[in-house]
Chains A and B, each alone.
Chain A
Amino acid sequence: MKGLFLKDILTQKKQIIRSIMGIIGIAAFLILVILSIYYGNLRTALLNGGFLEGNTLRNMIWIFSFVFAAFGGIMVNGVISASFEEDENADFGKVCVSLPVSRKERVITKYLYYFSFLTLSFFLNYGLQRIMFAVAKIDYTLECFLILLAGFSCFVLITLFDIPFIYRFGAKSRIVFLEHIVLVVILSVLILVGMNFCMKHDVSAGQLLGVISGMINTLAVLFPLSLFVGVPVSALCSIQIQKKGRNCIW
């Protein structure tokens, strides 16, 4: 198992470095935006437009924080998908089946690989989020942490769907891409229906904020749930697919 894990790290060294640099780059950009909101041109622009008042700044930084966390999740999703793609490009599957490593171990190694980068990305994001909040001079509360969890949660769930799909149809398969499109369409429809509902029933900004806050909390709760329930369920599905010989390899 250790050997296969090492293989993934060695083959993806560049990809991993790129992902980490990406996260740091986005964080640096967001910190610049926050600094500008506080002291620079952006503040002037927002003030002139009458946009910056009350809790708006705080909310904006929360949104940035969510987007940033989601970006971390996307990066990890990219790392794991690229690892499968690399295997497929090299036709490593045939080598893999010739090794004294069971199917179960092969699948578990991939999930461990994913989990390792998820953990790394999570702590990296957490550290950078703390910096972002410190720069913005906003107290770091439990709500801030929930935003981080919610941001990650979206892409953890997607990845947990992705991996069995990849085992069944292959990393380059359009079905995995299609699955992402379907998810985006479902989310877009839900947002549109929600917005339509809000407009029809004259939902106030406060109520809307409450709904968003509820959604964030739900997503945040889903994070540990997806780790402790979703990961084993997804891994079991992948193992079953491998056992039935329906894998994309060779």
Chain B
Amino acid sequence: MEDTMREYENAIEISHLSKKYDGFALQDISLTVPKGCIMGFIGQNGAGKTTTIRSILNMIPLDAGTIHVLGYDHEKEECKAKEHIGFVFDEIGFHKVLNATDLNKMFRNIYKNWDETVFFQNLERFGLPKKKAVGKFSRGMQMKLQIAVALSHQAKLLIMDEPTSGLDPVVRNEILDIFLEFVQNEEHTILLSSHITSDLERIADYITFIDQGKILLSGERISILEDHGMIKCKKEEVAKISSEYIVGKRISQFSVEVLVKEKKRCIQECPEFLMEEVSLDEIMIFYISGSKGAAA
């Protein structure tokens, strides 16, 4: 029986989330993932990505803030929300002795909307055996199995924690194609936590960048890339760039690389410099070094 879903505009709405641990804190995190998009959640290890996902999962009690997932309160309506969410983790969490047929038996008794026909179709499509124990699957096969499960209960939202890390480029590519196909339906949304920025450059519509428990940057991927640029100049020329544009600097022996934001305004003010395109990777590195510099 398919249960009726609540109307919602944003698949995930996190508002003023705070959570303090010894030596680490999520500080006033506010994040919105619009329906029908892929949101890339990037940051280095220990930045707070997994803690944020744990909070969405209602695994940890929050110190402050609210979370709504698919229009449901993440705490009070946890089970209703999870009925429509598919999770893919960096490491498979299924028992190694079980096979895909066993998993089907298990999940059809857990998800109301579990569709075993879709599940077995997905297995066939991904080339996964039905009777082989999960423990004997390769890493790529294990990720695909998790995705097959996530796609077989009519999930509206996929939350993934590092799903492509440790995979070879061919399998990574295949998996990214599956994600792109999933969001063809405008009701479907993906939150993809990763530090492989090249994957996100390929598929993400939005990017949120978290560091040391704070969101440094969040917005449309294209706008972020268009808004940032790299200036390569001599050390003595850096002073000509207004500090309000400078995100971070990389100083070598003879020259300086400066990552700037508000690229168009910056280039109007300093037309003598050549502005180069930047990748998400570079943006991430410069923001981290910039924030460390600011902290120091």
Binding site for B on A (CB under 8 A): 2-4, 6-7, 10-11, 14, 86-87, 89-102, 244-245, 250
In the bound assembly, the distance between CA atoms of A92 and B107 in angstroms comes to: 14
Contact A7 B79 (CB under 8 A): no
Please choose the segment from B84-92, B207-215, B269-277, B278-286 that sits at the chain A interface, where 4 or more of its residues have CB less than 8 A away.
B84-92
* Alpha-carbon distance A153/B238, docked complex (angstroms): 79
Question: Closest residue of chain B to A14, judged by CB?
Answer: B97
In the complex, which residue of chain A has the Cβ closest to the Cβ of B90?
A: A94
What distance in Å separates the Cβ of B83 from its nearest Cβ neighbour in chain A? Answer: 4
Q: Assess the B108–A92 pair: CB atoms within 8 A.
A: no
Of A6, A89, A96, A101, the residue contacting B105 (CB under 8 A) is A6
Which of B57-65, B171-179, B288-296 forms contacts with chain A?
Answer: B57-65
Q: Are B83 and A10 in contact (CB under 8 A)?
A: no
Closest to B83 in A: A100
Q: Are A95 and B110 in contact (CB under 8 A)?
A: no
Query: CA of A90 to CA of B97 in the docked complex: distance in angstroms?
Result: 9
Q: Say yes or no: A98-B85 contact (C-beta < 8 A), given A11-B95, A245-B59, A250-B59.
A: yes
**Which residues of B does A touch, CB under 8 Å?**
54, 57-61, 78-80, 82-83, 85, 87, 89, 91, 93-98, 102, 105-112
- Whether A97 lies near B110 (C-beta < 8 A) is no
Contacts of B96 in A (CB 8 A): 89-90
Asked if A90 contacts B106 (CB within 8 A), the reply is: no
Complex contact A6–B106 (CB within 8 A): yes
Contacts of A93 in B (CB 8 A): 93
CB distance from A100 to the nearest CB of B (A): 4
How many A-B pairs with Cβ below 8 Å? 76
A97 touches B59 (CB 8 A): yes
In the assembly, what is the distance between CA of A93 and CA of B110, in Å? 15
Would you call A11 and B98 a contact (CB within 8 A)?
yes
Interface of A is mostly: helix
Are the CB atoms of A95 and B93 closer together than 8 Å? yes
Contact of A4 among B91, B93, B110 (CB under 8 A): B110
* A3 close to B109 (CB less than 8 A): yes
Measured CB to CB, the nearest residue on chain A to B84 is A100
On chain A, the residues within 8 Å of B106 by CB distance are: 3-4, 6-7, 10
User: Is A100's CB under 8 angstroms from B94's CB?
Assistant: no
**In the docked arrangement, what's the CA distance between A3 and B59, Å?**
20
Interface contact B94-A92, CB-CB below 8 Å:
yes
> Can you name 10 extra interface pairs (CB under 8 A) apart from A6-B109, A98-B57?
A3-B106, A6-B105, A10-B98, A11-B95, A89-B96, A90-B96, A92-B94, A98-B82, A100-B112, A245-B61
Nearest B residue (CB) for A105? B79
A211 to B174, CA, bound (A): 72
Cβ 8 A contact of A91, one of B59, B87, B93, B111? B93
Which residues does chain A contribute within 8 Å of B105, judged by CB atoms? 6, 10
In the assembled complex, the CB of B138 is this many whole angstroms from the nearest CB of chain A, namely: 17
**Is A100 touching B111 in the complex (CB atoms < 8 A)?**
yes
Q: Once bound together, how far apart are the Cα atoms of A97 and B89, in whole Å?
A: 12
A101 to B267, CA, bound (A): 55
Instruction: Among B58, B83, B93, B111, point to the contact of A90 (Cβ < 8 A).
Output: B93
**Which B residues lie within 8 Å of A101 (CB)?**
79, 110
B102 x A10 contact (CB < 8 A): yes
Lowest 5 CB-CB distances: which A-B pairs, in order?
Answer: A3-B109, A3-B110, A95-B93, A98-B87, A100-B82
Nearest CB on B from A69, distance (A): 30
A2 touches B87 (CB 8 A): no
With A2-B109, A245-B60 given, is the CB distance from A100 to B80 under 8 Å? yes
Task: Indicate if the CB atoms of B95 and A94 lie closer than 8 Å.
Answer: no
Measured between alpha carbons, how far is A87 from B87 in the docked complex, in Å? 18
Report B59 CB to chain A, min CB distance, Å.
5
- Whether the Cβ atoms of B57 and A97 lie closer than 8 Å is yes
Q: Is the CB of B93 within 8 A of A100?
A: no
* Alpha-carbon distance A4/B109, docked complex (angstroms): 8
Which single residue of chain A is at the shortest CB-CB distance from B113?
A: A100
> Contacts A91-B93, A102-B78; is A3 near B98 (CB within 8 Å)?
no
**Residues of B contacting A94 with CB < 8 Å?**
87, 89, 93
CB pair B110 A102 closer than 8 Å: no
- Which B residues are CB-close (under 8 A) to A95? 87, 89, 93-94
Greatest chain A CB density within 10 A among B87, B95, B112 is at: B95
Write out the residue numbers on chain B whose beta carbons fall within 8 Å of the beta carbon of A87: 95
